[in-house]
């Protein structure tokens, strides 16, 4: 299924600790304040099935998990979330704000785990039933900053992979931002939270409200 001109599906992407969850939440609150019904989802997870899959994916000692298995589980979680939550909300005319979606698989399993990106694009199309975000905000920071921001957190299996892994993930995000320039907006995640929020809101206003 492809999105119609009326859908309002916005995704946030970036390496771990870049600040995208903060911005996704702020955008949802702002939309609701403006009287637009908006929901926030996160990946992997967001449904009963997807949260069960998340448990497998992020459990720290699941070291034997293969790259292809990881890609299939990420996209399985996405298929369930898409059918159960995202599509029904878009059909009702609601805004859907997603903290990660299909680009995360290209960046982490493609850039990070070095799986073939063209295969992953096809896998995503199958998992999402060809739903594509209307707009994607890539919050870009250097891996050292992402690491610093989540220093106090207990790292999960993927966060444990280290700075070089995050560097490859970031490079792939930058490549896909170049490949899909109409859809993906790159924002400098090193700026202050409020400044990034204003930049995102200006872009939303330009695209949807002017």
The residue ranges that bind ligand TYD (CB under 6 A) are: 16, 21, 42-44, 58, 74, 100, 104-105, 108-109, 156, 158-159
Please, which residue, 59 or 202, has the CB nearer to ligand TYD?
59
CB 111 to ligand TYD: min, Å: 10
Return the structure tokens found at 85. 């939550």
Q: How far apart, in whole angstroms, are the C-alpha atoms of residue 54 and residue 47?
A: 10
The closest residue (CB) to ligand TYD is 108
Pick one of ligand TYD, ligand ADP, none as the site partner of residue 44 (Cβ within 5 to 8 A by kind). ligand TYD
Whole-number minimum distance, CB 90 to ligand TYD, in Å? Answer: 19
**Greatest CA separation found in the chain?**
51
Residue 22 interaction partner, one of ligand ADP, ligand TYD, none, beta carbon < 5-8 Å per kind: ligand ADP
* Residue among 5 and 192 whose Cβ is closer to ligand ADP: 192
Question: How far apart (Å, rounded) are the C-alpha atoms in residues 188 and 9?
Answer: 21
The residues near 7 (Cβ < 8 Å, ≥ 6 apart) are 90, 134
Q: Which is nearer to ligand ADP, 150 or 178 (CB)?
A: 150
Cis peptide before 198 (omega within 30 of 0): no
CB closer to ligand ADP, 12 vs 95 = 12
Where would I find the H helices in 10-138? 20-33, 48-58, 67-81, 87-91, 102-104, 117-127
């Amino acid at each position: 299924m492809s999105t119609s001109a009326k859908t309002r599906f916005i995704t946030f992407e970036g390496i771990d600790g870049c600040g995208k969850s903060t911005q996704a939440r702020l955008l949802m609150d702002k939309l609701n304040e403006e009287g637009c019904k908006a929901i926030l989802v996160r990946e992997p997870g967001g449904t009963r099935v997807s949260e069960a899959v998340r448990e497998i994916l992020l459990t720290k000692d699941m070291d034997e998990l293969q790259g292809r298995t990881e890609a299939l589980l990420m996209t399985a979680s996405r298929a369930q979330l898409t059918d159960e939550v995202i599509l029904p909300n878009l059909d009702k005319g609601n805004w859907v704000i997603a903290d990660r979606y299909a680009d995360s698989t290209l960046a982490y399993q493609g850039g990070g785990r070095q799986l073939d990106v063209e295969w992953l694009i096809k896998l995503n199309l199958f998992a999402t039933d060809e739903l594509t975000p209307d707009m994607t905000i890539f919050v870009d920071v250097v891996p050292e900053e992402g690491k610093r921001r989540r220093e106090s957190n207990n790292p999960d299996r993927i966060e444990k992979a280290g700075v070089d892994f995050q560097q490859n993930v970031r490079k792939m995000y930058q490549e896909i931002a170049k490949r899909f320039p109409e859809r993906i907006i790159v924002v400098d995640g090193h700026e202050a939270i409020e400044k990034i929020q204003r930049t995102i809101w200006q872009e939303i206003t330009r695209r949807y409200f002017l």
